[in-house]
Structure 1
Amino acid sequence: MSVISRECYAVPLPELSGARVLLTGLTSASGFDIARAFADHGAHLILQSPEQSPEMTELVAVLAESTSEIRLFNTPLESDGDAARLMQAAIEASGGIDAVVNLAPIALSDIEALETPEDVEGLISEALRLPLRVTEIAANRMRLVWTEGSILNVVRVPGGIGGRAMMLADVLRAELAELTRGLARQWAAHGIRVNAIAPPSSVAAMAGEVQASDADLAAVALALASRKGHGASGHVLDAAGAARRWC
């Protein structure tokens, strides 16, 4: 944990105390800063991780030191049914959901296998399918119980691997922007905000912009779930550097 990220978490956001936050896609390599940020503000955590390892057990133990309630589901999200069952279990365990952060990494091996534009479209569709399904289920649940909540979808690709990743990032940003705007319009009347974070565009990457760190993602997720984010919906955000800018 960096000094910057810890200082960012120290900014008082009392409205997040007791908030029920679902984080999907957590691994020992990605997402811990986001979970820790919410835990440090007293949020109740519902975590989904495909990983069962000693490292994950240790990380959950660390998170438990900061929050009064934490639940971990060690089941992978591989189908729409898995997403529906996760949301049902999360809601039964916590009574509802106030904020959702979906982490959707794209593997290096999948990028290296790209050969055609159709391959790119197929990979993006598959990468977004389950996060968007969780978004739909969570938003519908929030609507039913009159919860004005925040949903953030984070799609990451490995940095510094050349033209295929840049091409993928450009197409991904365009498709994610369209989907996010549509979801934001769909749920705006119910006070439900939907935003996304995407990797840098090819132009930004060539200009030296780097991938957002976990601390950056944590800063954005906190801001969007708090009162600061109540006017923000329908945006694809560039999170790099947010841990310095948004604290």
Structure 2
Amino acid sequence: MASYPELQGRVALITGGASGLGLAAARSLAGQGMRVAVADLDAGAAERAAMALGPSGGHLAFSGDVASQGDVHGWVAALLARHGRIDVLINSAGIPDSFLPTVEQDVADFRRLVDVHLTGTYLVTQAVAPTMLQQGRGSVINLSSVAGVLGLARRNAYSAAKAGIGMMTRTMGCEWAARGVRVNAIAPGYMLTPFAQRLIDEGKLDAARLRRRTPAGRLGTAQHVAEAMTFLASDAAAFITGVTLPVDGGYMAWGAASDAYEGPLD
């Protein structure tokens, strides 16, 4: 992994940081010497994740719901009381979609998913932004998806939420660019996370078919996403804002009516 010495001692808040892509990002930033606050709905998992980041004493754990303004404001107040600054925000909290036909989808489930992914991203960013703007420096990194760009049937709520995150990334990135606060997003392809593995095991995703559709011929890992997030958090990305960066092995770039990868599937 690349080294970014300027991140040493800076402070990050990561929602959904106790598992999957959020946890990978937390490990990556902590490895750069950052002090990381892990926020997650699962209090025990957040505590374990923060403790596993290292003995620096600067890592924190918060529990609560990103869709609750009270919970979010509590995290930000506690983090500022401890460290006095917030340099990086990673919005990675999320819940799975139903994978049901549109006419069978439950409206309450639709609303909850949009509330967590889209409204949650908005609430946490809105709560952190005043501190970053006052500092004159900050990097917000949102988690979008190929589902926010491509049409994926049976995934209305998830796709709509991720598309919304992509546009919110652009609007906030433009709003705050002149004041030193950057807002970008990562759009992962099909990554071999524990969640994706569960979908494969349940027959909801076909791993071989996905690999054929991906020019790189393989599924990505959480580490691929974490490294992209670490780059966007660093000063090396100082002139990048309002961008949704695909980390997908070429999945979104492929447009031909044929397999993108014709090699062996080991």
TM-score by length of 1: 0.76
1:245 paired residue number: none
Superposition CA RMSD, Å: 3.2
Q: Contact 2:118–2:162 (CA<8 Å) still a contact in 1?
A: no
**1-side partners of 2:223 and 2:104: how far apart?**
34
1:177 paired residue number: 166
1:151 paired residue number: 140
**2-side partners of 1:238 and 1:52: how far apart?**
31
For residues 201-240 of structure 1, what are the alpha-carbon distances to aligned partners after superposition, in whole Å with 9 as ceiling and x for unaligned? Answer: 9xxx793378753212211111011111111110112123
2:30 paired residue number: 39
Q: Percent identity?
A: 26
Residue 135, structure 1, aligned to residue 125, structure 2: yes
Cα distance change on mapping 1:153 and 1:241 into 2, 3 Å: same
**2-side partners of 1:75 and 1:13: how far apart?**
31
Q: Contact 1:18–1:43 (CA<8 Å) still a contact in 2?
A: yes
Residue 94, structure 1, aligned to residue 102, structure 2: no
Residue 218, structure 1, aligned to residue 226, structure 2: yes
TM-score by length of 2: 0.71
Q: Contact 1:104–1:156 (CA<8 Å) still a contact in 2?
A: no
CA drift at 1:170: 5.2
**2-side partners of 1:226 and 1:87: how far apart?**
21
Cα distance change on mapping 1:185 and 1:121 into 2, 3 Å: farther
For residues 158-178 of structure 1, what are the alpha-carbon distances to aligned partners after superposition, in whole Å with 9 as ceiling and x for unaligned? Answer: 9xxx7213x556544543332
2:254 paired residue number: none
Instruction: Report which of the two has the higher share of helix.
Output: 1
The SS at the match of 2:239 is: coil
**2-side partners of 1:234 and 1:220: how far apart?**
15
Q: How many pairs does the alignment contain? A: 222
Gaps of 5+ in 2: 191-209, 251-266
The SS at the match of 2:37 is: strand
Q: 1:16 aligns with which of 7, 17, 32?
A: 7
**2-side partners of 1:13 and 1:220: how far apart?**
12
Cα distance change on mapping 1:59 and 1:25 into 2, 3 Å: closer
Residue 115, structure 1, aligned to residue 103, structure 2: yes
**1-side partners of 2:237 and 2:180: how far apart?**
12
Q: For CA contacts below 8 A with separation 6 or more, give which structure has more relative contact order.
A: 1
**2-side partners of 1:179 and 1:117: how far apart?**
25
Residue 187, structure 1, aligned to residue 163, structure 2: no
Residue 69, structure 1, aligned to residue 58, structure 2: yes
